[in-house]
Amino acid sequence: MVVAKGVAEIMNDVASPAQIAETIGSPPDDEERQPARSAARCARHKPRIVIVGGGFAGLAAAHALRHADAEVVLIDRRNHHIFQPLLYQVATAVLSPAEIAAPIRQLEVKQKNLSVMLAEVTGVDVASRTIEASFPEISVRKIAFDYLVVATGMRPSYFGHDEFARYAPGLKSLSDAETIRAKILGAFELAETTDDEDERARQMTFVLVGAGPTGVELAASLAQMVRVTLSGNFRRIDPSKSAIILLDAANRVLPTFVEPLSRRVTRRLANLGVKVMTGVTVETIDEHGVIAGGTRIPSATVLWTAGVAASPVPKMLGGKTDRAGRALVDPFLNVVDASGVFVAGDAASVMQNEHPVPGVAQAAIQEGRYVGRLIANDLKGRKVERPFSYFDKGNMAVVGKNYAVLERGRLRTSGFLTWFVWAFVHILSLPQLQNRLRVQRQWLWSYFTGQRSSRLIPEPPRTPGTETR
């Protein structure tokens, strides 16, 4: 018997909500957990574990279940996994999208108990233990589960000003990165062709809102692009005279790092030509630029690297959420009063020693692995006594060529050696061998030549018959 079922078979054996609710109910405590789940899988030979999200946490959970005697279903609205820490390099043309992404099916091709579905979850009914998933070109279908793992990650948050999104794209997906890359490169093309000096200055002014790791890394990479990569490429403008402004309402950059490292990063950014403005609140973003601290900053390219919020899925679970929409979970990453429903990664609000676990890749991987192992043990009838414990391997941020900062406990370093460690760790962490080889080769080429191979502006779609030359 083949363990992994096809999409059609998985959806066909889903009972109606009424049938499922009648047989399962909503188990109030651990004593009723096994009978309830046995009823839920009434028509199936194996228990079904549904994982929503193919990011770091989702893949880690799936991998931890590779030996489980169960049917594992991973659902994601994208067919690929993104190595988020290097997304800013796609946005600044250092790398191409394929170099930091990999098809989810290829990553899990050897896991025979896993099925992958390209769909978007639009509803969750914990009582009847079903989810609603919208498939491309297909109507919404219901899928039953015995265990549910939500690992849907985060999305940009504009702090109640969603109208900013039209003018200031965030950076959470490959399409976001390609949009930003096109805006940056297109701004220089427009600056080259205009005869209006004010418009030229506006096109060559880049404003980044948010001075966390993403904002710092993006600003530094952009600064190197205008000073090195684009040097000599234009006849009427000098890209090195571009204005790069990094704004944040906090009183310093990298507020999650200790203050001495923050000061070093600020000096490094200044040396690269980035103007840092902290303690400044953005009031308006429109087609003309930004109003921050009561001052208008004309800019054609505004990038949002500030807050994030959880996807809508955690709220569908019916439990409590924090202000960012992340699900509040118990020490075992289980949603309170929803037995067998777990949340991992950025979608979960996890506390440890009265401090929140940071929303970084290493935390998501550890949480996903923990949940997968917990479910695997539960399937064998073993009760897990040890709650989730986050092991902090340290935080890093790169600030241009040859410079990075590291903080791990009392260890705080910066400079070239830290940058080398950062590069080594990130290459090893890429999802596939081909990603590692391609990124290593591209980094070596860019390091010694200063060139970037992905300086592409997508051509807009054209209506057939209207092409001109």
pTM exceeding the 0.75 threshold for the entire prediction: yes
Residue written as token pair 């590692």: 436
Residue 355: its pLDDT value, please? 87
| Among 216, 274, 281, 270, residue whose Cα is nearest residue 248 | 281
Q: What is the largest CA-CA distance in the chain?
A: 76
Q: What is the pLDDT of residues 448-462, one digit of tens each?
A: 999 998 999 998 887
pLDDT band at 29 (very low <50, low <70, confident <90, very high): very low
| CA–CA–CA angle 242, 244, 248 (5° rounding) | 165
Distance CA 272, CA 401 (A): 10
pLDDT band at 2 (very low <50, low <70, confident <90, very high): very low
| Among 145, 229, 236, 197, residue whose Cα is nearest residue 454 | 229
CB 64 within 8 A of CB 373: yes
Domains and CATH numbers, the chain: 7-156+309-379 (3.50.50.60), 162-306 (3.50.50.100)
Answer whether residue 36 shows pLDDT above 50: no
Measure CA 34 to chain center: 35
Q: What is the pLDDT of residues 7-26, one digit of tens each?
A: 445 554 444 333 333 333 33
Residue 44: its pLDDT value, please? 60
Cross-strand bridge partners of residue 275: 245
Residue 354: its pLDDT value, please? 84
Distance CA 432, CA 437 (A): 9
The contacts of residue 362 (CB under 8 Å, 6+ apart) are: 392, 393
pLDDT band at 139 (very low <50, low <70, confident <90, very high): confident
Distance CA 10, CA 191 (A): 54
Q: What is the pLDDT of residues 62-114, one digit of tens each?
A: 999 999 999 999 999 999 999 999 999 999 999 999 999 999 999 988 999 99
404-408 and 395-398 as β-strands: parallel, antiparallel, unpaired? antiparallel
- DSSP characters over 374-416: HHHHHHTTPPP-SPP------EEEE-STT-EEEEETTEEEEEH
Distance CA 399, CA 404 (A): 5
Residues classed as catalytic: 217
Residue written as token pair 């070109």: 137
